[in-house]
Amino acid sequence: MITYLTRRLLLLIPVFVAVSVVIFLILHLIPGDPLDNLLRVGSSPEKRAEMSARYGLDRPLVVQYGIWLGNLLQGDLGTSIASRRPVASLIGQALPHSLLLGALALAFSTLAGVALGVAAAIWRDRWADRLIMGGVLLGSTLPSFWMGLLFILAFSVQLGWFPVSGARGWESLVLPVLTIGLGGTALVARVARVAMIDAAERDFVLLLHAKGMPPGRIRLNHVLRHAMIPVVTILSLRIGWILGGAVTVEYVFARPGLGTTLIKALSQHDYPVVQACLLMLAMAVMLGTLLGDVVQALMDPRVRREAA
Amino acid sequence: MLLNLRRWMLAAGLGVASLGLTGPAAAQETTFVFATSEVGVSSYNPIPATLTNAAFSMIYDTLVVQDSDLSYHPSLAESWEEAPDGMAWTFHLKPGVTFHNGRPFNAATVVKWIDLFRGSENSYMIDAVASVEAVDDLTVRFVMKNPDPNLLFNLSSSFMGIPDPEAVAELGEDFGITEAIGTGPFKLESFTQGQETVLVRNDDYTWGSPLSANKGPAHIARITFREIAEDSTAYLELKSGGVDALMSIPTDYLGEIKAEPELAVAEMPGQEVFYMAINVAKDPFTDLKVRQAAALAINQKEILDNVFGGYGKEAHNFLISALPESKLPADADISYDPAKAAALLDEAGWVLGADGVRAKDGQRLSVALWTQSDSIFRRLTEVVQAELKAVGIEAKITTFDSSTIKDEFKSGNQQLAVRSYFWPNADIVDWFFSAERLGYPNTSMFNDPKAEELRVKAMTGSATQEERIANFTAYHEYVTRQFPYAPIYQPVQNMAYNIDRIEMPAEIHATQITGVVMVDVKVKE
């Protein structure tokens, strides 16, 4: 297990370098200049040259990348061009909000997904099954930006249950969590349903029935437990996507977080901030995938043996 | 079981509702939403600020303030004189003014503040100022390097709100984030970047400007400004009663807001102009006649009525109509005239073809029309495209996002581009048509020796305000007659508010919702 983990961690290094190159290149190759947004009517061309030099934007791209990566390895994310504040402090403020939102959304999709999946499996091929799976599919395919606005219209404007937007108290978390969580719910529900049906057809279940165990107990104690293996796998793989899902939803609900920070920085071409945000998102996916694989290895002795 | 569940959900719902919607019940408390263009301020320190929002003008006072007609009025300066040669300005300061921390505001404050301003991001605003000296405790003199009649405009801008220079020095980087000390009618209570700014009334405030009805402390005791970048979310907050006012609303929402009985719109003169830049360095627009024809093809009235629902004004030259420099001779203004456009194109040798597109020497009159991806730009540009087609110019639309397009302009490959700017001063003509800034901001690639001569005269050769107006009008007129652009539309600025909660002053004597306006705003209880 230790060797497996070490190998996986070492493999992250080239991936990290590749990701950093891609992030840096994409940003600098798309047209746009942060100074266009900073300089206001009346400032002179000399001022522009001075600012360009101050932020190192006049250096060759390779040199800019080298400086960025060098600083990054020393834990220095740089300074925001638009706000001139340390990027680390901007990210430090934003990240906890996104993590909370993402974690709650993951928890929601787990609970709702498993419950709906199990229900659909129990009423397999009956109207309840079709209703649940149809509803879940619809919910997961609608764009979250639009879903968010629909939820606001229904639950905030019409019913007045939750605040429209903002980040004050737990009640402002409900709709964003619901919006992000829906996609995961659909995934979990589908996997849980198939796993339940699959497990219910195994020989050991037939044996339990033959022994006269009540069907409710068989489902809860044996079938469900067996069916959880693929569910846990799919969930752990999804951990990495927690932050990504928050981007548009934070914007719609005017919540602080990595997404709002990223969108604002993108519109200002604030390279250091965008780079840091994208790096966070990429690292979350990388570490999430690693965690998913490890969890899977721990749960499944076959994988564990292979890994060792 | 099902019934129980329903009852439980209902109870939970009610619980949430009572938690979530306990609005500001206490006296004179309200929540506003900043204009979407003002979202993302990183500090309330005006000296190095690159972006300001409405709260700056409530925390900090300026020496002078501007009325909605763009005239200048006293604020921290009670009166002022300009030397006849324009080489010095004397400001007489209001007595008895104190900062939020109790320190007095006087001539020494102004001297220290201008020192801090030098070397900052915004120092160009005082480039023409050689030195500032305290004549006595309440008199301060600006000695000029060269006359700058625009000094009053700069002094009235939110970047030149006056902070306590000593607090700036003491707090360093934290100034404007943890604390912001000004002399304005509101004090900063808390600032959460990207989220909200809470201001509380300055109870010592007795130096309101003549533009406010109320010269004393504001009526509002506590005001929360929220930052919401998405227009539809902000609108739904207003509609659901979550906030009391939005400081900007897109024109698209006006109809909907006016249909809601509890919502109202307060209009302020616009500071924005939509226009079509014409690249004079790219064929076929190297020909003045073709440029003029393209400009005359734009139907300002049709666009005002059909694209903007009749809200706002037609634009007939480059400047907002509140500016005196926008008053050009009638024949210099550019207005829709399709017959003349057709005649000009005929004269230039572009003959109408069977497909409705003109051609000359086998070359079709087909050009690129650039625009931004924002929905209002896309809609407007499609109408412009149809209007150009009506006189025989085929325009192919290319859409860029708003920050990418600036970089694309630097290539100089654009032919036509639908653009807008937001700026209440005639020096915008210099910004967009100066030969020093070809590509971007000078997207028209306009480079004309006579225009440069007039430009330099307007920018640096005016001693008094009157001279500056005359010089800028002449420069503006000359540029306009060369057709490097076609004027389209001037929006009005709108704010929307809930009439059950907010009472706005009958007339708004400011260019935007500033501290001058806010001291007169009341919360209905």
Q: What angle do CA B221, B223, B226 make, to 5 degrees?
A: 175
| Residue among B195, B240, B403 minimizing CB distance to A164 | B240
B-proximal residues of A, 195-254, CB under 8 Å: 251-254
pLDDT tens digits along B475-486: 999 999 999 999
Domain hosting A242: range is 93-307
Radius of gyration of chain A (CA): 24
CB of A36 less than 8 A from some CB of B: yes
CB of A157 less than 8 A from some CB of B: yes
CB of A55 less than 8 A from some CB of B: no
- Using CA atoms, how far apart are residues B362 and B365, in angstroms rounded to an integer? 10
- Same domain, yes or no: B81 and B203: yes
- Same domain, yes or no: B405 and B462: yes
pLDDT at B10 over 60: no
pLDDT tens digits along B261-295: 999 998 888 889 999 999 999 989 999 999 999 99
Q: Quick check: A156 and B242 CB within 8 A? A: yes
Q: Quick check: A149 and B423 CB within 8 A? A: no
Distances (CA, A) of A305 to A6, A20, A296, A301, A302: 16, 34, 12, 6, 5
- Per DSSP, the three-state class of B362 is coil
Contacts of A80 in chain B (CB under 8 A): 42
Q: How many domains does chain A have?
A: 2
- Same domain, yes or no: B128 and B161: yes
**Residues with pLDDT less than 50, chain A:** 308
pLDDT of residue A221: 74
* Residue B11 binned pLDDT confidence (cut-offs 50, 70, 90): very low
Nearest residue in B to A267, CA atom: B403
- Using CA atoms, how far apart are residues B191 and B43, in angstroms rounded to an integer? 8
- Same domain, yes or no: B99 and B196: yes
Distances (CA, A) of B104 to B107, B108, B137, B161, B175: 10, 10, 11, 16, 18
A-proximal residues of B, 430-459, CB under 8 Å: 431, 436-437, 440
**Both tokens of residue B271?**
């500071």
Domain hosting B64: range is 13-228+496-523
Q: Quick check: A253 and B404 CB within 8 A? A: no
* Residue B9 binned pLDDT confidence (cut-offs 50, 70, 90): very low
pLDDT tens digits along B164-189: 999 999 998 889 999 999 999 999 99
Q: Quick check: A156 and B240 CB within 8 A? A: yes
Closest CA of chain B from A265, distance in Å = 9
Contacts of B192 in chain A (CB under 8 A): 256
Q: Quick check: A157 and B229 CB within 8 A? A: no
Domain holding A263: CATH number? 1.10.3720.10
Q: Quick check: A254 and B227 CB within 8 A? A: yes
B-proximal residues of A, 278-307, CB under 8 Å: none
| Residue among B17, B407, B428 minimizing CB distance to A31 | B407
pLDDT at B211 over 90: yes
CB of A162 less than 8 A from some CB of B: yes
- Same domain, yes or no: A301 and A199: yes
CB of A54 less than 8 A from some CB of B: no
With respect to residue A83, please indicate whether it lies within any of the assigned structural domains: no
- Per DSSP, the three-state class of B255 is helix
Domain holding B22: CATH number? 3.40.190.10
- Per DSSP, the three-state class of A92 is helix
pLDDT tens digits along B405-437: 888 888 888 999 999 998 889 999 999 999 988
**ω before B505 within 30° of 0 (cis)?**
no
pLDDT of residue B26: 52
Closest CA of chain A from B311, distance in Å = 27
CB of A33 less than 8 A from some CB of B: yes
Nearest residue in A to B429, CA atom: A41
CB of A93 less than 8 A from some CB of B: yes
**Residue A92: CB partners within 8 Å, gap ≥ 6?**
none
- The whole-angstrom distance between residue B92's C-alpha and the CA centroid of its chain comes to 29
pLDDT at B12 over 60: no
- Same domain, yes or no: A100 and A48: no
Please provide the DSSP assignment of A140-163 as one string. Answer: HHS-HHHHHHHHIIIIIIIS--S-
| Residue among A31, A157, A161 minimizing CB distance to B17 | A161
Of the CA atoms within 13 Å of residue A32, those in its CB half-sphere come to: 19
Which class for B247: exposed (0-12), middle (13-18), buried (19 or more C-beta within 10 A)?
A: buried
pLDDT of residue B331: 93
pLDDT tens digits along B302-332: 999 999 888 899 999 999 998 999 999 999 9
Residue with tokens 């939970």: B12
Q: What angle do CA B99, B103, B104 make, to 5 degrees?
A: 85
Last residue of a domain, one of A20, A45, A73: A73
* Section B3-21 average pLDDT: 42
**Both tokens of residue B376?**
């209002």
Q: Quick check: B16 and A169 CB within 8 A? A: no
- Using CA atoms, how far apart are residues B351 and A42, in angstroms rounded to an integer? 43
pLDDT of residue A60: 84
Name the nearest CA neighbour of B118 among B132, B134, B98. B132
With respect to residue B264, please indicate whether it lies within any of the assigned structural domains: no
Last residue of a domain, one of A73, A103, A128: A73
Residues A127 and A134 sit within 8 Å (Cβ to Cβ): no
**ω before B284 within 30° of 0 (cis)?**
yes
Q: How many domains does chain B have?
A: 2
pLDDT of residue B16: 41
Read off φ and ψ for residue A127, nearest 5 degrees: -65, -35
Which class for A35: exposed (0-12), middle (13-18), buried (19 or more C-beta within 10 A)?
A: middle
- Same domain, yes or no: B43 and B69: yes
- Using CA atoms, how far apart are residues B120 and B290, in angstroms rounded to an integer? 44
Nearest residue in A to B38, CA atom: A264
Contacts of B195 in chain A (CB under 8 A): 166-167, 256
Q: Counting every residue, how long is chain A?
A: 308
- Per DSSP, the three-state class of B478 is helix
Nearest residue in A to B11, CA atom: A161
**Both tokens of residue A79?**
């300074």
Query: Amino acid identity, residue A252?
Result: V
Q: What angle do CA B487, B493, B497 make, to 5 degrees?
A: 160
Q: How many A-B residue pairs are in contact by the CB < 8 A criterion?
A: 127
pLDDT of residue B6: 42
- Using CA atoms, how far apart are residues A207 and A228, in angstroms rounded to an integer? 20
pLDDT at B8 over 50: no
- Per DSSP, the three-state class of B144 is strand
Residues B320 and B476 sit within 8 Å (Cβ to Cβ): no
- Same domain, yes or no: B485 and B500: no
**Both tokens of residue A196?**
């339940």
| Residue among A164, A171, A254 minimizing CB distance to B229 | A254
| Residue among B195, B233, B239 minimizing CB distance to A256 | B195
CB of A29 less than 8 A from some CB of B: no
Percent of chain B with pLDDT over 90: 67
Closest CA of chain A from B239, distance in Å = 7
CB of A161 less than 8 A from some CB of B: yes
**ω before A96 within 30° of 0 (cis)?**
no
Q: Quick check: A264 and B39 CB within 8 A? A: yes
Domain holding B333: CATH number? 3.10.105.10
Q: Quick check: B437 and A45 CB within 8 A? A: yes
pLDDT of residue A219: 77
- Same domain, yes or no: A57 and A190: no
- Same domain, yes or no: B443 and B511: no
With respect to residue A45, please indicate whether it lies within any of the assigned structural domains: yes
Closest CA of chain B from A168, distance in Å = 9
* Residue B94 binned pLDDT confidence (cut-offs 50, 70, 90): very high
- Same domain, yes or no: B484 and B502: no
- Same domain, yes or no: A100 and A16: no
- Same domain, yes or no: A127 and A56: no
With respect to residue A284, please indicate whether it lies within any of the assigned structural domains: yes
| Residue among A40, A43, A164 minimizing CB distance to B242 | A164
| Lateral strand order in the sheet of B351-352 | B351-352, B358-360, B363-364
pLDDT tens digits along B341-370: 999 999 999 999 888 999 998 899 999 999
Nearest residue in A to B430, CA atom: A42
| Residue among A41, A164, A172 minimizing CB distance to B233 | A164
Beta strand pairing call for B351-352 and B313-314? unpaired
- Using CA atoms, how far apart are residues B213 and B217, in angstroms rounded to an integer? 11
With respect to residue A175, please indicate whether it lies within any of the assigned structural domains: yes
- Same domain, yes or no: B418 and B345: yes
pLDDT at B130 over 80: yes
Ranking A237-241, B71-75, B139-143 by mean pLDDT, the lowest is: A237-241
* Section B193-219 average pLDDT: 93
Radius of gyration of chain B (CA): 26
Q: Quick check: B232 and A149 CB within 8 A? A: yes
pLDDT of residue B344: 94
**Both tokens of residue B389?**
């087609």
pLDDT of residue B1: 37
- Same domain, yes or no: A68 and A102: no
pTM: 0.82
The DSSP 8-state label assigned to residue B492 in this structure reads P
- Using CA atoms, how far apart are residues A266 and B67, in angstroms rounded to an integer? 35
Name the nearest CA neighbour of B444 among B415, B471, B487. B415
- Using CA atoms, how far apart are residues B228 and B208, in angstroms rounded to an integer? 30
A-proximal residues of B, 188-247, CB under 8 Å: 192-196, 226-230, 232-234, 236-237, 239-240, 242
- Per DSSP, the three-state class of A212 is coil
- Using CA atoms, how far apart are residues A21 and A28, in angstroms rounded to an integer? 11
pLDDT of residue A302: 65
- Using CA atoms, how far apart are residues B471 and B261, in angstroms rounded to an integer? 48
| Residue among B16, B237, B407 minimizing CB distance to A165 | B237
- Same domain, yes or no: A200 and A63: no
CB of A169 less than 8 A from some CB of B: yes
- Same domain, yes or no: B277 and B318: yes
- The whole-angstrom distance between residue B284's C-alpha and the CA centroid of its chain comes to 33
- Per DSSP, the three-state class of B288 is helix
Closest CA of chain B from A59, distance in Å = 18
